[in-house]
Amino acid sequence: MKHFEVPLGYRSSLISAIKEKRKEDDKLKKDTQPTLLDLGNLKIYLARHFGFCYGVENAIEIACRTIESNQGKRIFLLSEMIHNPQVNADLLQKGVQFLQDTNGKELIPLSSLTKEDIVIIPAFGTTIDMEKKLNAIGIEVQQYNTTCPFVEKVWNRSAQISKKGYSIIIHGKPKHEETRATFSHAAANSPTLIVNDMEDAIELGKIISGELPVSHFYSYFNGKYSENFNPDTDLEKIGVVNQTTQLATDTQAISDYLKTVIVTKFGESELSTHFADTRDTLCYATNDNQTAVNSLLEIPADIAIVMGGKNSSNSSHLVELCENKLTTYFIDGPEKLIDPTSLINTNWRNKEQTIINNYLPTQQPTTILMTSGASCPDTVVEAVIRQIADYYHVSDALKALEAKWIK
C-alpha cells in the first residue's frame, strides 16, 4: 500500500514501532489479537488495528502539499477535512478557512470566493451540486480533491448497479457529510433512499411487502429519498450500499433483512433479479478496526478508552462496541484526562461532554483496553498512554518497554 508523507507531529515513534513489528509478524493481517503493554501494576491492551487509515493519510498529504505550494493564496476547506480536532486545528492555524460546518451550514458565503481561490474537497467527498457551484466560480475542484478512494468506490458501485435498474439504499447517517455526498452521486443515476438503522429498514420492509401503504413511505422517509422516488416501482429492485464508517455488522444485518423481504415477495429463484450483491462497499479500515475491537474485547479488563473526534462516525461505533462489554470512555486527547480522578467523557450518541469522577480503577493490577478511530493521530494515543502510565506511577516501566520496541 502507498506510503504517505504525513507531518511528524502526527507520528509516534512508540506506536509506529508497535505497528511495524505487528505488520512484520503478520503480513496477511490474519492475527487480530491485541498488543499487550505490560507495565506491572498497569496492563494496557492496544487493538491490533487503529489510527490513521489510507483515506485519512491521503487527505492530510494532499492538504499539506496544497498549503505548501500555494503560499499567499486563500485556501478553503468545504468543511472539516476529517473529524479530528487536532488535525483541523492545525489546518486553521496554517490559514485554511472552513466554508461550512459539519452539518453543511454556510460559514463563509460562496459568493465571496473567486477563481483565484483554492478549495480543498474533504475526505468525505462532496455533492455534485457543490462541485457545479465551485466550477461556476472558476475553481478547479479535482486538483485539490481529498475524497477517500473507498468512498469513491461506493459511488462507483452504486453507478454500476444503477445501470442494471437497481435503486440504491444507503445505510448511513442522513446528516453526515459522507452520506450527503454519496446520496448526491447515487441519486444522479438512480432512485436513492437513506436508511439510518434497522428500525428504518423494518419500516421499509413493511412498505416493500405491502404491509404498510405507500403513503407511509413519503411521511416516514421524508427528506431521505431522491426526487421523484416512486415506491411502487423503485422498490422492486434494490441494492444496499453503506456510508463507509458504519458498523459492518449493522450494514450486513440491514442487507440480510431486506434480502429476506425480497425473497418472501418474489421467491428465492428471483433474488438476483431484485437484489444486488454489494458486499464490496465496506471500507477495509472500518472493517479491520471493528474486527480488531471485537478481539480486543475478548480480554478481561476493567475499562476501555477510545480516542477520536466527537463527530467521528467510525470512532463512535468503536465506542458502541466497547460499551456493550464494559465501562468505556470516549476522549479526543490527553487533555480530557484532567487528573487521576476526573475525566471529560463524550457521549457518542448526542456528543455531549460530561466530567466523570473516579474513572480510573484502583485495584492492582489494572487492565485497560485502548483503541482509536481512523482519523486519530498516533501521537494522541501515545500521549494518553503516557498520561495513564504517569497516574499509575509506572512511567519508568513504560520507558523500559519502549526501549525494547524502538531499536
- Point out the residues that are catalytic: 178
- Biggest CA-to-CA distance, the chain: 68
Among 373, 397, 371, smallest CA distance to 384 is for 371
Question: Where does 236-394 have alpha helices with state H?
Answer: 248-266, 271-274, 284-296, 313-323, 378-391
DSSP letter for 373, please.
-
Number of Cβ within 10 Å of residue 4's Cβ equals 15
> HSE (CB half, 13 Å, CA atoms) of 19?
15
**196 within 8 A of 174, measured Cβ to Cβ:** yes
**113 within 8 A of 137, measured Cβ to Cβ:** yes
Number of Cβ within 10 Å of residue 32's Cβ equals 17
Q: State the cell numbers at 385.
A: 498512554
Among 176, 171, 175, smallest CA distance to 193 is for 171
